[in-house]
Structures are given as C-alpha cells and as structure tokens.
Structure 1
C-alpha cells in the first residue's frame, strides 16, 4: 500500500501544486479497498468538508500534534469537577490544525504526501460512517452533535498501562468526545485510519454513546456499575453489547462499498502470523460461536477490570448471532435499524437500553443478557425476523427460552421461537 502511494505521488510530481479552495462536493483521491483486497487511489467526493487544507467540516475536524495523557496520579484530573474540566486536564498539548498538501490534476485533488493521503482517507471514512448511520439506521441529522474533533497522530499516553504513547489504534474516546487516529508501527499494510470498517466500528461507539449512554462522556450506568464493589455483570454486558454491535455495524457499512460485504473487515489491517488470528476471531460469518460455562461465569462474576478483553468474545458471539438472523431472512438493513432504535426508546412497552439501565441502576444484576437482548427483540417488528433473532440469541448466547418468549410481553419472542441446535446446552445459570 505504501509503495502504491509513493509511486502515485511520484508520477504526479510534475503537476503544479496549489492551495485549493474548491466548492463541495470536492473531487479528491483517497485510498479505497478494491475488489482484490488492495488499497488503491480512487476518485471520491468529500461532501461535508468546509476547509480542504485543514480537513474540517460538518462531520469531523482534524487536529494534529496533540498530547493526551491519562494518569490516575494526575492531580489536575483528580481535581476536575466537570466533564469539561476533565477533558481539559487530559489535554497536555493542544497541537494545531492539520495542513494537507495537494496536486490539482484535471480538477481532481491528489494528496501530495503520505500524511495527506492518510488524513483525506480518514475524513472520507468518517463521512462514510456518518452516511451509513444517517441513511441506513435512520438517525436524524439533528441527533448528531457538532463535528467530532479528530486528533490525528497524537501522543496518547495511558500512564497506568505503559509509559510511552500508544500506537496502532484508532478509537472513540468518550472522555473527550473525540476520535483518536494514533500513529502506526506494526500495521504497515493498512493503517487503521484507511480501513473503513475500523472507522465505522469506532463511529458506532460514538452512536452507542449518544443513544444508549445518553451522550454522556461518563455514562451513568457504566460508571456506577463498574465502581460498585464485587462483580459488575451489568457493566460487562454493556461493554460486550457496545463492542459486538460496533462490529455488526462495521460489517453493515461494508455492504455499501464497491468491494462488497466483508465479515472479515479487520483482515486488511491485521494479517500475517502475528496479527492474522484477530480477523479470524472476529469473523461474523462463523456459525459455531457459542458462549461456554467459563465465559458465562466471567460475565456474571467478574469485575469490569477482570472482564477486560472478554467483552470482545461475548460481543463477537452476539454480532455473529444477529448477522446470521439478518442474512438468513434477507433483512440485514431492517435489523440494523431495529438495533439502533433499541438504544434509546422512552416507550413504556418497548424501553431502550438507556431506559433499562436507568431502571436497574440500583441493581445491575437485573440487567441480564435476556434484558439487554430483549431491548433489540422488542424493536424488531417483522415476525419472521424476530423469530430468527430470538432463535439465534437463545442458541449462541444460551439465553433460556422462558426469559425471552413474550408470555407477559407480546413484543418479545413469539411462541414459535424455540432456539437453535448449534450450541451445546449449558447447565442452569
């Protein structure tokens, strides 16, 4: 990929550089995944950018060179009494606006250096994720907050974990309500900023925060439950759903690309003997993913810190089960819309995840897998799709049928739902 970028820039080196001021949509070249699995320069349009040099617009505002440090011993963080003060204390160096460089060829802008390729592609992928959630899952434009500050190649230090800056990651950092595109080191083939699936996964965390967490930088249920003494089952379930549904939405967004639906969207970035297994572990198309006794016990009995890392395993099981239901019925987009509708719903008969966490804020043990799954089920209105979702969740997450069949709630699973037979039955929970 990097050789392709360098070669392309060299070919265009004789063209005249410029400080462009085009009108939107802007015709520009970005790195896009082709049908043969390679990232290639492709002409695309940026529809929301206001400043093509600073790469800011209504979707995102890129900012470079910042230093962000979380250290539990930092007195500034300890003294912060508001979310705004906490975010300000994290930012140890504000950095600066980015400055992209272009070559204009036949009214199409070509990035003139690697970082411009990387930043343009990141903005384009954020725009695609924004479009996916607006057009497929029907989130109204007014529900989105201001453009998301996107820190490009910041020094991001989690001092409690390691002294130096983190690399090879892209993330939504709710404490700052921002995206972070970190420098790459090991991921040379396809840095995460150019992987549209990864960017949509992170954008999904933003949507989950806006909807299921009420837009709070410090979600009430997650903070309250994770700081309670003893096991944190409610917090573990929330984190698992957040991760699993982010993978499912990332997959759904790939279906809008020229390269087509990709259940292994991580594979273009994570490959080879050291990194390749991650794409296999998160491949939604695998039909034999089952929760086992040990994982179920961890979900119920671990604190959130003890459970760290296992949320991806539970999330993948959830996402794979929902994937199978959507594909088997040919109702993928309908299911994806139903899932987002389940995040926040004040309707008494079909409460959303946000409302259910508030209901059980004083006793997280009541926010079970069945309760969290029920929020999705009650928002699926098509009977065939609802039955398929119920069967897959009963089977793969081993949720007892009597906790999901709607004897007292007609919006839950229909009596015809009996669960699947892929996964071995577990003992009584």
Structure 2
C-alpha cells in the first residue's frame, strides 16, 4: 500500500471532537480497515472482526478509548512530578489535557463499518489494530500488569510542547508514540510519509504497546519515585544516572522491537512504512539510515555490540545517527552521554534475543517473550533499590525466568558476543562463559 503525501490543516480534517455522532453501536462488529496480510509484509483494505466494542462511533472499546486533540506542555508534567502523586493520579491529571471525545466519520453499509475519509480510516484501522494487539499480549504473552488490566487511551492528533521532561524530540507528523507517565499512546498526522502510516502498521503499534507494558511493569511499581526524580531533576543528571537511563531506554526499545517481531513473525515489520520513492533526498537518506538501524539483520546490527558502540570503535559509516560522541573524550563512554539514540543499542538487544532462540519464531513467541514479560516486574524491584543498571542485571533476571527446559546455550553465546565486557567479568553467573 502506497500513500502519497497529504497536505492537511489539523483543524480542518473530517473528525468531530464535540459529541455529534449517532446512537452508540457496540458488541462484535465488522470493520473495513487497512490491515496486514498474513505475513505482515504488505497491507490492504479488508474486513476484520472486532469484539467488545462499546461505541464504535466514538472509538470506545472495553479495554481502551480514543481521545481527540488537546495540548500537553512539559511544564505541566514538571509541576506534577514535584508533588506527591501516584502513578495513577499523575496519569489521570496529565491525561485530562486530552479529554475531547473523538468521533470519526463512519457509515454502516451491509452491516460493515466504513470510514468516510482518510483520517477516519487511519483512526478506525488503529482501533482494530489495538484490539488485536491487546488480546495478543494478554492471551499469548501472559501480561497481567496494569498495562492490560487498566484502560488504555489513544490520543489522535494531539499536540505536545516538549521540555526537559520529554527525553526525545516529539516529531508530530508521521509518528506514533507511547508517552510514559501520561499513559497514552499518541498518533500524529501523515506528513510526507509514503508507506503505510505508522498508525496503520500493526507491528509499529505492537512496538508502542510494549512501551506501556515496560513502563507499567518496571517504573510504576517499586521504582516510581526513582522515575520521578530522574525526570523532575532541575540540574543535569550525574554521568552514572544518565548512563543508567540511556541503557534502560535502549532495553525498552529493544524489547519493544523483539515483541513486535514476535507479534508479526516478521523481522522487517517496519518495511511497509519505509517507502521513499518520492521523498526529497534528505528525507530519503534519513529514512534509509533509520531503516538500517532498526532492521536487526542489517549490516549495522551484524557488527554492532554493546562494547564497540560504547567505546566508539564501530565504523562510523555504520554508526552514523546513533548519537553524538561529545562526551567520549572526557568519559571514554558514549553510552553515558545525553545525546544518544536508544534505538541503536536497542537493536543489539533485540538481535541478542533473536539469536538466543535460534531465530525460531515459535520459540520466541511461546517461551522467550513470556519469560521477558515476567522479568520486567523483577527489574522494577531492582531499580527501586537505586541500584545502578547494566545489561547483566536484565540478562540474569531473564535467565532466572526461563523454564528449566529451555536450552540457554545460544542465548549465552550471543550475550558473550554482543556484551563481551560483561561476560568476561563474570557478571552473568547463570551463563557458563
């Protein structure tokens, strides 16, 4: 599916934010949406079944609801983080900035729900995707955290004013993100993206869904006060805490990718969105570099390791775009710098796990991903003690969570290759290096 560039004014698209729809329609419904084929390598308009709908005209499901518009400023988050709040009250208060009901333009024809314009089609397709992905994380992966037991919220075309609390630039076109703390997924409009919009790409949605699972398991339990203190810091973090945060972000991104691979059973789940035939040269180059870093079987990931990324020894033509080595001359460790992309090391994490299951999709889905899910809560307990984080902590917890019948030889071998300095220091005792 190839979508040409759409020039839009955000206030003019065909969605209603004010409660102007017909009587509620719910239950089990048939929707006409953009959905993946069986191999998740291509997408097309097709009919899908969704269950437990509360009101399709407002995109409300028993598990989640869509919200429309709204504006959140980083300073609003700052003020709340310096007060006594729980994860739940913090999310509720910040999410109130996106409290408008979303009502796409829909029509029923032959008992099938159809979108009447592109923006409504994108919202309806994302709705169908979230319904399927939610069920997969509960039924196949076994998540029982508040990520799947508490309602979820999807903000459609909202706006954010970044601040020091938002660790990465918020690209508000051609993007879909999970905003931790606020506890919402955000879907932004199509700008110059030519492939399948991220909101319609179920692999991307599965990736973003896992960010909620990571946050709710790791940070909102024993480690919430530590998370608050990191984000509400008025001065620069210490080098050690900045390094902790960088590595945890990389772990978060890597686990999101490997779960998306598990959901789609497709290493290249992002490729349907990475089309650049008609982009300008600069945009095409940026998209190509992103594709290289995110493909866990690319030349970059073939050669990247925890150590050669950290000590700046990987060929720069491959590592370009991962981060600025501004702190390397003083610290000797790029991973402790502020300008570091978590996706690069995240891809190394995902590749380690992929090799650890012998590139076996069934083993990944049925054994490895459920074990990773069980590991996350225990990781939160460790972080709650203010212990420094490095990947030996995660891998040791993961090895403890894997069933006794799982052969860890491939996983330990890959850890020894990709995280050599940790392995040679005997920091992962459950691996006999």
TM-score of the alignment, normalized to the shorter chain, above 0.5: yes
Distance change in 2, residues 1:33/1:220 (3 Å): same
Q: Equivalents in 2 of 1:231, 1:141: separation in Å?
A: 29
For the residue of structure 1 that corresponds to 2:274, the secondary structure is coil
User: Are 2:305 and 1:291 aligned?
Assistant: yes
| Counterpart residue number, 1:29 | 32
Distance change in 2, residues 1:309/1:265 (3 Å): farther
What is the RMSD computed on CA atoms of the aligned residues?
A: 3.5
User: Are 2:80 and 1:66 aligned?
Assistant: no
For the residue of structure 1 that corresponds to 2:408, the secondary structure is helix
Post-superposition Cα deviations, 1:143-164, rounded to whole Å, max 9, x if no partner, equal 7343212110012221569999
More divergent stretch after superposition (155-164 vs 308-317): 155-164
Post-superposition Cα deviations, 1:372-403, rounded to whole Å, max 9, x if no partner, equal 22111111124553222111112112232452
Extract unaligned runs of 5+ from structure 2: 7-20, 277-283, 312-326
Q: Please say if residues 264 and 280 of structure 1, whose CA atoms lie closer than 8 Å, have aligned partners that are also in contact.
A: no
Q: Please say if residues 67 and 91 of structure 1, whose CA atoms lie closer than 8 Å, have aligned partners that are also in contact.
A: no
| Counterpart residue number, 2:320 | none
User: Are 2:381 and 1:331 aligned?
Assistant: no
User: Are 2:337 and 1:311 aligned?
Assistant: no
Q: Equivalents in 2 of 1:214, 1:89: separation in Å?
A: 16
User: Are 2:131 and 1:127 aligned?
Assistant: yes
| Counterpart residue number, 1:348 | none
Post-superposition Cα deviations, 1:93-121, rounded to whole Å, max 9, x if no partner, equal 54521112323222111112212211111
| Counterpart residue number, 1:251 | 261
For the residue of structure 2 that corresponds to 1:44, the secondary structure is strand
| Counterpart residue number, 1:170 | 176
| Counterpart residue number, 1:220 | 225
Q: Equivalents in 2 of 1:179, 1:196: separation in Å?
A: 14
| Counterpart residue number, 1:340 | 373
| Counterpart residue number, 1:14 | none
Q: CA deviation at 1:192?
A: 1.2
The TM-score with structure 2 as length reference comes to 0.76
Give the 5 Å matches for 1:274-285: 274=285, 275-285=287-297
Equivalent residues, number? 379
Q: CA deviation at 1:88?
A: 7.2
More divergent stretch after superposition (182-191 vs 159-168): 159-168
| Counterpart residue number, 2:9 | none
Identify which of 224, 238, 257 aligns with 1:229: 238
User: Are 2:295 and 1:264 aligned?
Assistant: no
Distance change in 2, residues 1:87/1:114 (3 Å): same
For the residue of structure 1 that corresponds to 2:344, the secondary structure is helix
Distance change in 2, residues 1:198/1:163 (3 Å): closer
Q: Please say if residues 145 and 217 of structure 2, whose CA atoms lie closer than 8 Å, have aligned partners that are also in contact.
A: no
More divergent stretch after superposition (87-96 vs 242-251): 87-96
Q: Please say if residues 19 and 102 of structure 1, whose CA atoms lie closer than 8 Å, have aligned partners that are also in contact.
A: no
For the residue of structure 1 that corresponds to 2:245, the secondary structure is helix
| Counterpart residue number, 1:200 | 206
| Counterpart residue number, 2:397 | 375
Give the 5 Å matches for 1:381-396: 381-382=403-404, 384-396=406-418
Give the 5 Å matches for 1:81-100: 81-82=84-85, 94=98, 96-100=100-104
| Counterpart residue number, 1:355 | 381
For the residue of structure 1 that corresponds to 2:57, the secondary structure is coil
Post-superposition Cα deviations, 1:348-395, rounded to whole Å, max 9, x if no partner, equal xxxx21122234x0x42xx32212221111111245532221111121
The TM-score with structure 1 as length reference comes to 0.77
Q: Please say if residues 62 and 97 of structure 1, whose CA atoms lie closer than 8 Å, have aligned partners that are also in contact.
A: yes
Distance change in 2, residues 1:285/1:212 (3 Å): same
